[in-house]
Amino acid sequence: MSWRNQRIDDRLIHGQIVVAWGVALRLARLVVVDDQAAASAWERELLASAAPGVQVSVLPLAEAVACWAAERGAAGDAMLLLRDLRTARVLVESGADVPAFTLGGLHYAPGKTKLNEYVYLDDADREDARALLRRGVKLEAQDVPATRPQVLTVLDPTLAP
Amino acid sequence: MSRIPALLVTHADLGAALLRAAEQIYGPVGDVEVLSNAELSRAELELAIVERVSRWPHGGLVLTDFPGGSCQQCGLLAVRGHAEVVVMTGINLPALLDYLHNRERYSAGELAERLKAKAQDSVRVQRARPA
């Protein structure tokens, strides 16, 4: 069955992923696409150690399109993890036909405004979100499986096409 | 031996609550800072830990709550280059109290191993005797 969820989360693998999503979706694989983490052996090791019993891959963005296609249809369920909306946009514009992203954690930074308790966006994030929406990519916010997904354009009507 | 400082890095308000509980039992506590991961990205949490451990010239302990969580991972990322700073994960009240009683007797590494044993030993399963 492979891809079960594509999540944008600036913490990458952490408690919500390991305990909540990992159990709810019975994930066999976590695929982290992040140039910074992929470039560091220590960060790759740390991310892998955070999810015992789950196969963790940490890839640079340049390898992600091929991985997206190859993983589709593979045995077992997988989650894709990206740090930000820019990475999601580049991935889609590079040819990965990702149907939807879940915004699971984009935390506060100067210049970002609050949409809910765990999603803050700035102008650049909004531009990336609009680019994804124009391509028909569904964007929702949801931190853990026990909460209901919130449509991003409802949380932020300025994003509506 | 000098006192080993500590930083509690936890989800939500767990660290602050643990410290309040410890103070009720031990008394007023100094040289323990608290940091919540609430509303912090991975990068911001790592930076916040780096800022604190950089003030420790003789090392210290980063005490985190949950293996695999952002607090532990960012703690480990933050202590790169700080050989005398040790991350201990799975802190609970008995271990925190043990730290307070022994932080002037051991090095950071020795103390971390001691706290691990204390935290594990304090988890008990017990049943009432039959009436």
List of chain B residues whose C-beta atoms are within 8 Å of the C-beta of residue A108 = 39-40
Domain tally, chain B: 1
Q: What is the pLDDT of residues B107-131, one digit of tens each?
A: 999 999 999 999 999 999 999 988 8
pTM confidence score: 0.89
Residue B130 lies in a domain: no
* Mean of the per-residue pLDDT values of chain A: 95
Taking CB atoms and an 8 Å limit, are B69 and A14 in contact across chains?
yes
- Count of CB atoms within 10 A of residue B36's CB? 18
Which residues are within 8 A (CB) of A23 and not within 5 positions of it... i.e. 6 or more apart? none
Q: What is the pLDDT of residues B65-101, one digit of tens each?
A: 999 999 999 999 999 989 899 999 999 999 999 999 9
- ipTM greater than 0.85, yes or no? no
Q: In the block, which residue shows the tokens 């963790």?
A: A56
Residue B98 lies in a domain: yes
Q: Is residue A73 very low, low, confident or very high in pLDDT (cuts 50, 70, 90)?
A: confident
Q: B90 and chain A: CB distance < 8 Å anywhere?
A: no
Q: Is the dihedral of CA A12, A13, A15, A20 positive or negative?
A: positive
Residue B122, min C-alpha distance to chain A (Å): 23
Domain ranges, residue B14: 6-120
Cross-chain CB nearest to A107 (options B40, B76, B77)? B40
Taking CB atoms and an 8 Å limit, are A10 and B11 in contact across chains?
no
Q: pLDDT higher for A74 or B48?
A: B48
Q: B11 and chain A: CB distance < 8 Å anywhere?
A: yes
Taking CB atoms and an 8 Å limit, are A47 and B73 in contact across chains?
yes
- State residue A46's pLDDT score: 93
Domains of chain A listed by start with CATH number: 2-159 (3.40.35.10)
Q: What is the pLDDT of residues A12-40, one digit of tens each?
A: 999 999 999 999 999 999 999 999 999 99
Write down how long chain B is: 131
Q: B12 and chain A: CB distance < 8 Å anywhere?
A: no
Cross-chain CB nearest to B41 (options A15, A52, A107)? A107
Taking CB atoms and an 8 Å limit, are B73 and A13 in contact across chains?
yes
In this prediction, what percent of chain B has a pLDDT beyond 90?
91
* Mean of the per-residue pLDDT values of chain B: 95
Residue B126 lies in a domain: no
Residue A63 has pLDDT above 90, yes or no: yes
Write down how long chain A is: 161
Q: A51 and chain B: CB distance < 8 Å anywhere?
A: yes
Residue B18 lies in a domain: yes
Taking CB atoms and an 8 Å limit, are B39 and A50 in contact across chains?
no
Residue B45 lies in a domain: yes
- State residue B130's pLDDT score: 87
CATH code of residue B21? 3.40.50.510
Average pLDDT, stretch B50-77? 95
Residue B53 lies in a domain: yes
Residue B129 lies in a domain: no
Nearest of B104, B111, B106, B119 to residue B86 by alpha carbon: B111
Please say whether the beta carbons of B59 and B84 come within 8 A: yes
Residue B43 lies in a domain: yes
